[in-house]
Amino acid sequence: MSPKPVRKAVIPAAGLGTRFLPFSKAVPKEMLPVVDQPVIQYVVEEAVDAGIEDILIVTSRYKKSIEDHFDRLLEIEKQLADKGKEAEAEQIRSIAELAQLHFVRQGQPLGLGHAIGMARNHIGDEPFLVLLGDDIMHPEAGVVKGMIEAYQEHACSVVALMEVPKQDISSYGCAAVSEVSDRLVEVSELVEKPAPEVAPSNLAIMGRYLFTPTIFEEIAQTKPGVGGEIQITDAMSSLLGREKMLGYTFAEGRFDTGKKIDYLRAVVELALERDDLGDEFRSILGTIAKREGLT
Ligand code: G1P
């Protein structure tokens, strides 16, 4: 029997965003603009490109602008249409039609595992994707598409993994693995944010997960871990005792927009790829690079 299709995704976007203060005092970090689109729109588009039809976004208080962004904006649509700017009007309209979007609020900051657990009723008995709301993946990296293919072949949970310098592993969930094929590894151990000296590897979890619904049973049993929060990595670690789990390894194409330096890189790289801005921006960057003695 072939495994159930992956139709649904969860985007946790409830975190406080303290790394992006003072910006994130009043505006959710997921609404940071990368050129002219908020980060979370890239994430929703990534899910839709991978064939996802239904998306649940987990938000929290002060994050209402995320819901507004994916709503219709009739006044502006009409104004643009009246001025004959049909393409622009359509662009605004299409954001509300990307997928069936649903929202739930995490009332207390109890952790990523808890936020994902809030999706249990909505997801039901299906496999589902989780895409962290402040990580952008370059479309060419094809990470979630690769993860879905791995799920279709192996019918088990799959997590995105990337090698990081050993001293950085304490910022991530860490996986011990054995090789399966070119990109796939089997996960044997998971630890959330280990100290580099005790980390079982330098393979870090990178904000994309594909879970079987069994994960909800494990989340419900998971006690607070690192930082006093219910960690998804701990729930995954318990899942390892019940089900096989694969890692999908990749080397580039991720921007952690929750980190200032990576946010800047995302803006530069993605602006350079734009048909309407790329050439002009490239020439500006060239001038700056010369002035800074970089070329
Ligand atoms: C979360 C996860 C961690 C993962 C990381 C990826 O941590 O808990 O396992 O490696 O996302 O960005 P956070 O960045 O929320 O501290």
Rounded distance between C-alpha atoms, residue 244 and residue 4, angstroms: 17
pLDDT band at 3 (very low <50, low <70, confident <90, very high): confident
Q: Is the pLDDT of residue 223 over 70?
A: yes
Domain segments of the chain as ranges: 8-258
- Distance from residue 290's CA to the centre of ligand 1 (Å): 37
pLDDT at 17: 86
- CB 169 within 8 Å of CB 194: yes
| pLDDT (0 to 100) of residue 1 | 65
- Rounded (to 5) percent helix, strand, coil in the chain: 40, 25, 35
pLDDT per position as a tens digit, 139-184: 999 999 999 999 999 999 999 999 999 999 999 999 999 999 999 9
Q: For residue 286, what pLDDT band results from cuts at 50, 70 and 90? A: very high
Q: Within 6 Å (CB) of ligand 1, which residues are found? A: 112, 132, 135, 172-173, 192, 204-207, 231, 233, 256
Q: Of the candidates 177, 132, 182, which has an alpha carbon nearest to the alpha carbon of residue 153?
A: 182
pLDDT digit string, tens, across residues 9-60:
999 999 988 899 999 999 999 999 999 999 999 999 999 999 999 999 999 9
Under 8 Å between Cβ of 159 and 208: yes
Q: Is the bond preceding 200 in cis, omega lying within 30 degrees of 0?
A: no
SS3 state of residue 58: strand
Q: What is the mean pLDDT of residues 174-202?
A: 96
Mean pLDDT, residues 191-215:
97
Q: What fold characterizes domain 8-258?
A: Spore Coat Polysaccharide Biosynthesis Protein SpsA; Chain A (3.90.550)
Instruction: Give tens-digit pLDDT for 245-283.
Output: 999 999 999 999 999 999 999 999 999 999 999 999 999
Could you tell me the pTM of the whole model?
A: 0.96
Residue 163 Cα to chain centre, angstroms: 17
**pLDDT for position 56:** 98
How does pLDDT run across 71-110, given as a tens digit for each residue? 999 999 999 999 999 999 999 999 999 999 999 999 999 9
Question: Which conformational region is residue 56 in: left (phi greater than 0), alpha (psi within -120 to 50 degrees), or beta?
Answer: beta
Q: Point out which residues pair with 242 in neighbouring strands.
A: none
Name the residue of 39, 58, 116, 172 to mutate for ligand 1: max ligand atoms within 8 A of Cβ.
172
**pLDDT given at position 221:** 97
